[in-house]
Amino acid sequence: MEGKAFPKKIKKEEPTVIDSLNHLPRPNQNHASLAEHFSDLAPPLTDRQAVLEASRCLYCYDAPCVNACPSEIDIPSFIRNIHQENVQGAAQKILSANILGGSCARVCPTEILCQQACVRNNHQECAPVLIGLLQRYAVDHAEFQQHPFQRAASTGKRIAVVGAGPAGLSCAHRLAWHGHDVVIFEAREKAGGLNEYGIAKYKLVDDFAQREVDFVLQIGGIEIRHGQVLGDNLSLAELQQQFDAVFLGLGLNTVRQLGLASEGAPGMLAATEYIRELRQADDLTTLPVADRCIVLGAGNTAIDMAVQMARLGARDVNLVYRRGVEDMGATEHEQHIAKENQVRLLTWAQPEEVLLDDQGRVCGMRFARTHMCDGRLQPTGETFELAADAIFKAIGQAFDDSALSDSSGQQLARDGERIRVDEQLRTSLPGVYAGGDCTQLGQDLTVQAVQHGKLAAEAMHAHLMLNVEAA
Amino acid sequence: MADLSIEFAGIKAPNPFWLASAPPTDKAYNVVRAYQAGWGGVVWKTLGEDPAAVNVSSRYSAHYGVNREVMGINNIELITDRSLEINLREITQVKKDWPDRALIVSLMVPCVEESWKAILPLVEATGADGIELNFGCPHGMPERGMGAAVGQVPEYVEQVTRWCKTYCSLPVIVKLTPNITDIRQSARAAHRGGADAVSLINTINSITSVDLERMVANPIVGDMSTHGGYCGSAVKPIALNMVAEIARDPATHGLPICGIGGIGSWRDAAEFVALGCGAVQVCTAAMLHGFRIVDEMKDGLSRWMDSQGYRSLQEFQGRAVGHTTDWKYLDINYQVVAKIDQAACISCGRCHIACEDTSHQAIANLKQADGSHRYEVIDAECVGCNLCQITCPVQDCIEMVPQDTGKPFLDWLHDPRNPYREAS
């Protein structure tokens, strides 16, 4: 696996921010005042708030919150530890189930997971326990003298993990814990996946994602090689030959297309591209801002994009969705954030044409109004136009097929475009496992990816050690 | 509104809420503020012989609940640390200024007749309404042969009470220590000595907590500690039991009882009255919240009395005494079974795990198709212990429903399963 050339461009077909939006103005505020708009959306709990909130937990048995947590964190136990001023114990309990418990505490849509299930999420009980913030409190305040998990004796097994996102990191950590040696192959310059490149800046602030990666690697036995792109300078067949097992945590690396003419025109960009640029920017004043912009989509990424553009100073941010509010993927909590940031929501309208000015740049979009007719989404025949300096697509990401272009990759069974796995995260190829967003199993959430990585590691470990004993 | 005024052991007061002998009643300033706030009476902090006691620093420590609410306070403070002369002068003035309020003087002098003979006329001359004998202080004073050292020996209780009745015409209230095995022995001794009333309980020997870094119990004096006296809501159950024991003891029948121990609300007070008390004393709740709490206590008590049709305290005083008995007289055929109100249940599972692990496996955990849980009582297994109702966080969600067993009243004395049953 000697170093091959660093690929020049990771996504060849998608325009970069600079290419697409360079003609737009920059924010008319200085970096410090802009940065204030990107500080913690939900401020951390103080000591007193944490103890008060912890005391609200009823310490349920067979607790609904645990059943609702994709990574099966023992929530009543860690909250009881917080209340008994055992913050280290609380953090270790969380991290033993979810090594990325710090970022999950920040980015999980708790309102549809643990906090929705909380028995106190009942008007008689006022409000659910703030589980996400308590988890963050525990992980942030724990001070471990050394990494809280000690590696088992070396097994001599070497495992390849492709992708240093939440699934890959979780898998690698659990494998290292069991005594295996792990090499992570990562395409980008930094590890962390969407935590580093894809989460709204105000949800995961400063360099938390990198600090968390450092914490994961503290366990030892994990090497990360950057600039390694499956399907480009790396092939699945090679990995199968050189390692005892392979885990694919590839994520979703392409953006869905609208299928309209001029989709590549200046001013038209994937929301994920912009968010990545925003998260990596040391100086927010260098970012192009679309004073009037349109965000297409209805998921949490669409909300993240719209809100961040509003916070950068855009005056007119329109979120346009082809169906109704009740069909939106974004949670009510996310929709509320959008409203608080003066994002205008337009429903029942689908893009019909990208409008260009005489220089060929985006100047607006024409939409067809829609309605449900015989159970299908249909245009009503009516159209309208919205002026915009930029249009951000947040209509979903798709699996990038080019990663599996080699002979082994082509043999992998699929569920639609994604990789088929069973409940032990096994693909159709022996010794090859997969998890996270590149599989169809479960929801497309960070916490789900962490759980996949963990379960895959356990399955790989059980399988590899079974063979050792048999030999 | 119901009439809250009382006459207790010959002492009149506009309401039954008195402040107990303790720091809140240490001097005229506090007592006047208490009267201004509306307290019906005050037991002045215990007087002793000069020279006055000397106190240490620090003095209190607490036992906390999960929300840092104070369950109980422990103190190592002694009786008054001011001279007898100053106290007597202030008592005289306060009583003169507040003639309608009860003012009782707490006393503690050595267990010799001459000491009592000397102090009693001085107290009587103040115009106070009565005296309370502090036979309960569990720290400091017993080492000097006073306080609980007297209260723990019935013969001493009887003797000192008799001296007081001999050398003083004021009503004598004997304050009992709970640091004994059978409270009735102390009450009977006071009764024999001629006591006009008993008040209880004084504080309970206690250590509330240990500072695990300094490895010393709280409160800390230098790098040492000592046991103190425990009070506050945590001691209420102990106090209620001791009050009931005396109230239903034929040997002390009719002896007025002033209830003390964890009273912080009108409901607490009403419970003590229902078990036979004619007045109550409050300390810890006032120390935690100030004298203003008497306002809600008076208002709540009189409104509740109105709702029940009670015009005066006497109308419900002792009503619960007749319903308190020995275990052997309980109906062994009585049966209650838990019933869960499914509409109110929030599915926390606490009733299930409590019953499953520690009781009778009488609450089934039924997993529903949608992944939620339904908890159902298995009637045949339920012994009616109340544990599920106790652990349930939702008020009135679990009801203990009396069952029609069709069986007659049967107590253990007559139960055929009792090998020592009485012949019927």
Q: Considering only CA atoms, which of A323, A335, A326 is closest in space to residue A369?
A: A323
Statement: residue B326 has pLDDT above 90: yes
Among the partner-chain residues A52, A119, A124, the one whose CB lies closest to the CB of B348 is: A119
Q: Are A385 and A292 members of one domain? A: yes
The domains of chain B, with CATH numbers, are 6-323 (3.20.20.70), 329-402 (3.30.70.20)
Q: Is there a domain that residue A33 lies in?
A: no
What per-residue confidence (pLDDT) applies to A11?
A: 46
Q: Are A170 and A86 members of one domain? A: no
Query: Exposed, middle or buried, A104 (CB in 10 Å: 0-12/13-18/19+)?
Result: buried
Phi-psi category of residue B75: left, alpha or beta, with phi > 0 → left and psi -120 to 50 → alpha: beta
What per-residue confidence (pLDDT) applies to A19?
A: 83
Q: Is there a domain that residue A269 lies in?
A: yes
Q: Considering only CA atoms, which of A5, A4, A24, A7 is closest in space to residue A277?
A: A24
Q: Are A128 and A66 members of one domain? A: yes
Asked which of A141, A169, A192 is the last residue of a domain, the reply is: A141
Grouping H, G, I as helix, E, B as strand and the rest as coil, residue B97 is helix
Q: Are A219 and A166 members of one domain? A: yes
- Virtual CA dihedral for B64, A123, A76, A73, nearest 10 degrees? -150
Binary contact (B353, A58; C-beta < 8 A): no
- Size of the A and B interface in Cβ pairs below 8 Å: 39
Put simply, whether A63 touches B (Cβ < 8 Å) is yes
Structure confidence by residue, pLDDT tens digits, B5-40 = 999 999 999 999 999 999 999 999 999 999 999 999
Q: Are A359 and A288 members of one domain? A: yes
Statement: residue B48 has pLDDT above 80: yes
Residue with tokens 């929300």: B67
Contact A422, A456 (CB under 8 A): no
The C-alpha atoms of residue B155 and residue B134 are separated, in whole angstroms, by 15
Q: Are A259 and A392 members of one domain? A: yes
The C-alpha atoms of residue B243 and residue B258 are separated, in whole angstroms, by 9
What per-residue confidence (pLDDT) applies to A470?
A: 55
String of DSSP letters for A435-470: -GGGB-SS-S-HHHHHHHHHHHHHHHHHHHHHHHHH
Name the DSSP letter for residue B28: H
Among the partner-chain residues B66, B349, B352, the one whose CB lies closest to the CB of A55 is: B66
Put simply, whether A378 touches B (Cβ < 8 Å) is no
What per-residue confidence (pLDDT) applies to A14?
A: 61
Q: Is there a domain that residue A10 lies in?
A: no
Contact A27, A284 (CB under 8 A): yes
The answer for residues whose C-beta is within 8 angstroms of residue B344's C-beta and 6 or more apart is: A124, B394, B396, B397
Q: Are A350 and A286 members of one domain? A: yes
What per-residue confidence (pLDDT) applies to B139?
A: 74
Query: Which two structure tokens, joined as six digits, stand for A271?
Result: 């929301």
String of DSSP letters for B159-193: HHHHHHHHH--S-EEEEPPS-SS-HHHHHHHHHHT
Q: Is the Cα torsion angle B73, B77, B80, B81 positive or negative in sign?
A: negative
Put simply, whether A62 touches B (Cβ < 8 Å) is yes
Contact B264, B255 (CB under 8 A): no
**Count of the separate structural domains present in chain A:** 3
**Gyration radius of chain B over CA positions:** 24
Asked which of A366, A397, A428 is the last residue of a domain, the reply is: A397
The whole domain housing A390 covers: 255-397
Q: Are A248 and A276 members of one domain? A: no
- Virtual CA dihedral for B399, B404, B407, B410, nearest 10 degrees? 30
Which H or E element spans position B123? helix B113-124
The answer for residues whose C-beta is within 8 angstroms of residue B350's C-beta and 6 or more apart is: A58, A59, A60, A61, B391, B392, B393
Q: Is there a domain that residue A12 lies in?
A: no
Q: How far does the CA of residue B104 sit from the closest CA of chain A (Å)?
A: 42
CATH number at residue A384: 3.50.50.60
Structure confidence by residue, pLDDT tens digits, B173-222 = 999 999 999 999 999 999 999 999 999 999 999 999 999 999 999 999 99
Q: Are A364 and A266 members of one domain? A: yes
Residues of B in contact with A83 (CB under 8 A): 66
Among the partner-chain residues A51, A62, A125, the one whose CB lies closest to the CB of B346 is: A125
Q: In a mutagenesis test of the A interface, which of B342, B345, B348, B356 is the best target, namely the one with the most A β-carbons within 10 Å? A: B348
Put simply, whether B366 touches A (Cβ < 8 Å) is no
Q: Is there a domain that residue A279 lies in?
A: yes
Put simply, whether B212 touches A (Cβ < 8 Å) is no
The C-alpha atoms of residue B167 and residue B17 are separated, in whole angstroms, by 28
Catalogue the active-site residues of B: 137
Q: Is there a domain that residue A313 lies in?
A: yes
Query: Which two structure tokens, joined as six digits, stand for A102?
Result: 């710090």
**Amino acid making up residue A366:** R
Closest residue of A to B393, CA-based?
A58
Q: Is there a domain that residue A170 lies in?
A: yes
The C-alpha atoms of residue A211 and residue B38 are separated, in whole angstroms, by 61
Structure confidence by residue, pLDDT tens digits, A264-300 = 999 999 999 999 999 999 999 999 999 999 999 999 9
pLDDT in tens, chain A (471 residues): 343 444 444 444 567 787 899 999 999 889 899 999 999 988 999 999 999 999 999 999 999 999 999 999 999 999 999 998 899 999 999 999 999 999 999 999 999 999 999 999 988 889 999 999 999 999 999 999 999 999 999 999 999 999 999 999 999 999 999 999 999 999 999 999 999 999 999 999 999 999 999 999 999 999 999 999 999 999 999 999 999 999 999 999 998 999 999 999 999 999 999 999 999 999 999 999 999 999 999 999 999 999 999 999 999 999 999 999 999 999 999 999 999 999 999 999 999 999 999 999 999 999 999 999 999 999 999 999 999 999 999 999 999 999 999 999 999 999 999 999 999 999 999 999 999 999 999 999 999 999 999 999 999 999 999 867 655
What per-residue confidence (pLDDT) applies to B66?
A: 83
Asked which of A360, A376, A397 is the last residue of a domain, the reply is: A397
Statement: residue B60 has pLDDT above 60: yes
Q: Are A53 and A100 members of one domain? A: yes
What per-residue confidence (pLDDT) applies to B207?
A: 97
Residues of B in contact with A86 (CB under 8 A): none
Binary contact (A55, B393; C-beta < 8 A): no
Q: Are A247 and A259 members of one domain? A: no
Binary contact (A52, B67; C-beta < 8 A): yes
CATH number at residue A125: 1.10.1060.10
Structure confidence by residue, pLDDT tens digits, B142-178 = 777 777 888 999 999 999 999 999 999 999 999 999 9
What's the CA angle centered on B259, arms B57 and B242, to 5 degrees? Answer: 95
The C-alpha atoms of residue A321 and residue A323 are separated, in whole angstroms, by 6
Residues of B in contact with A62 (CB under 8 A): 349, 352-353, 365, 373
Structure confidence by residue, pLDDT tens digits, B83-100 = 999 999 999 999 999 999
Binary contact (A67, B371; C-beta < 8 A): yes
Q: Is the Cα torsion angle A31, A36, A37, A40 positive or negative in sign?
A: positive
Q: Are A239 and A271 members of one domain? A: no
Q: Is there a domain that residue A443 lies in?
A: yes
Strand partners, A372: A377
What per-residue confidence (pLDDT) applies to B211?
A: 97
Strand partners, B62: B73
Q: What is the mean pLDDT of chain B?
A: 95
